[in-house]
Structure 1
Amino acid sequence: METLYLGCLVLGVIFAVVSVVVGDLIGNALDGMFDAVSFHFLNPTVLAGAVTVFGGAGILLTRYSALEAGPVAALSLLAAGFLGVLMYLGFVRPMDKSEMSSGFSMSELPGRIGEVMVPVPAQGYGEIMVRFGASNSLHTAASFDQELLPAGIKVVVVEVKEGVAMVSEFEKRKGEDM
């Protein structure tokens, strides 16, 4: 049984080293090959970590405890499962959610606050800047209320028509009648 534990430990360490050294090359070569059978919690990092912990715990419990083979295997599996869950919840899932994209859809514009960069005439087009995550995007804009919108004021996107953001002033300027 100790041979199984040692094999798992060595296999896990080799997998970790190979992943660090040539992980991107292997990932690109196998691009999408296993997507059909993909479960998020069966991440290779989690599985390799669990196999490594199983082997390490098995070796330690076999050498330094008076337990029989059955309880050692059960405790090793329990340790591997526990650490696998911790790795998934503490590392893999947060890293999956941390990916940023600068892409957006025009359907995401309504309700967004922007700033007029090029004045928007009552009849015609100007340009607004809207913040999406860590980036800014510029959009052609027209006045929803058919009013002049000078550069520098805050506007809200009311709707998008034919690729043009229809905007209205976010807050009325001081001195204007309501």
Structure 2
Amino acid sequence: MLGMYWGFLITGVLFALVTVIFGDFLSNALDGVFDFLSGEHLHVLQPMVLFSGLTVWGGAGILLTRYTSMGGIAILLAALLCALACSTIIYLFYVKPMQNSENSVAYSMQDLIGKVAEVSVPIPAHGYGEVLVKVGAGVSNHIAASFDKLDIQSGAKVVTVEVVDGTLYVASLDDRA
């Protein structure tokens, strides 16, 4: 049994070392062959959770064998319980919060339709200016033209009416009042 525990411990440690040192390199070299292991659908079965449990199972088995007088089956079960507890803790306090923190800052230009913006560079009736649009937690600059073909001064509040070829066509909110 001690050999099995050492095997679990060594396998877990080697997996951790290989993934930390060579993880991205191997993924790119093998063209994503192991991407299915990312656990996108079964987060509980992610390699981090499984191999940490395997490593703890091996380490706990070794320690319990050497420093307790418990029998073989009792050690196997106690080490397995330690591994399950550790895997649960890693999942609940590391994997799950990291899942929830993955936010995208990407947006589509079409998402800007209906957004209120502020003119930063005046927009002539038949030309282009620039607006500042709040997108997510930041502000983005975009080229803008007047939808109504009217001059719009710097500092004016506008609303995006349409987006054509990356240009926001805006209308002044002051004229709509």
Give the TM-score category using the shorter length.
0.7 to 0.9
Structure 1 residue corresponding to 2:75, chosen from 72, 77, 93: 72
- Offset, 1:98: 4.6
User: Relative to 1, partners in 2 of residues 1:31 and 1:48: Cα closer, same or farther, differing over 3 Å?
Assistant: farther
User: Relative to 1, partners in 2 of residues 1:87 and 1:31: Cα closer, same or farther, differing over 3 Å?
Assistant: farther
Give the TM-score normalised by the residue count of structure 1: 0.73
2: CA distance between counterparts of 1:70 and 1:113? Answer: 68
Residue pairs, 1:1-178, within 5 angstroms: 1-36=1-36, 38-40=38-40, 41=43, 42-96=45-99, 98=101, 103-122=106-125, 124-133=127-136, 136-144=139-147, 147-161=150-164, 163-169=166-172, 172=174, 178=177
* Count of residues paired in the alignment: 174
2: CA distance between counterparts of 1:37 and 1:48? Answer: 12
User: Relative to 1, partners in 2 of residues 1:160 and 1:3: Cα closer, same or farther, differing over 3 Å?
Assistant: same
2: CA distance between counterparts of 1:153 and 1:118? Answer: 10
User: Relative to 1, partners in 2 of residues 1:18 and 1:159: Cα closer, same or farther, differing over 3 Å?
Assistant: same
Whether contact under 8 Å (2:144, 2:170) holds in the other structure is: yes
- Offset, 1:55: 0.8
Give the TM-score normalised by the residue count of structure 2: 0.73
Which sections of structure 2, spanning at least 5 residues, go unmatched? none
Say what the alpha-carbon RMSD is for the aligned residues: 3.2
1: CA distance between counterparts of 2:70 and 2:15? Answer: 29
Deviations 1:67-86 (A, max 9, x none): 33333323322322332232
2: CA distance between counterparts of 1:7 and 1:37? Answer: 21
The farther-off stretch of 42-51 and 145-154 is: 145-154
Deviations 1:34-80 (A, max 9, x none): 33565232333222211111111222233333433333323322322
SS at match of 2:170: strand
User: Relative to 1, partners in 2 of residues 1:95 and 1:65: Cα closer, same or farther, differing over 3 Å?
Assistant: same
2: CA distance between counterparts of 1:16 and 1:159? Answer: 51
